[in-house]
Amino acid sequence: MRRIVLAAIPLLVVSFLASACASGGKGPTAHDSGSKTLHATVTERQYDAGTAGYRTSGTYYLSFEAEDGDKTVHYRFPVTQQQYQRYSEGSRVTLIILDEQLRDIRPAQD
């Protein structure tokens, strides 16, 4: 029994130090990590059926046009089937983009 306790002590010390290092210091904030919220318009909807056969459902894409500062930007992101069906061309939306990947689409609050 004593050997088990003595063997467990170094593991506890290592796990304690690892957790202290993991929680110490600030991680990147949303602003630092490339997060942005843009007001956009759906410009195009695309469906790629794929070539893997009948078992795949394909990939849905929405293209957007948005104002980012003083320039107009265009994005094309893969989306879920539900998002594809919900937002038709011309829909005004709010995009949440993190590290150049779409995280959320919401109806625009005009």
**Full-prediction pTM beyond 0.85?**
no
Domain boundaries, the chain: 35-107
3-state class (DSSP) for residue 101: strand
**DSSP assignment, residue 35?**
E
Predicted confidence at residue 91, as pLDDT, reads: 96
How far is the C-alpha of 88 from the C-alpha of 70, rounded, in Å? 26
Residue range 8-45, pLDDT digits in tens: 565 544 555 444 444 444 444 444 467 899 999 999 99
Mean pLDDT for the stretch of residues 60-82? 95
DSSP E strands: which ranges in 49-88? 59-68, 71-79
pLDDT reading at 52 higher than 80 = no
Highest CATH level, class, for 35-107: mainly beta
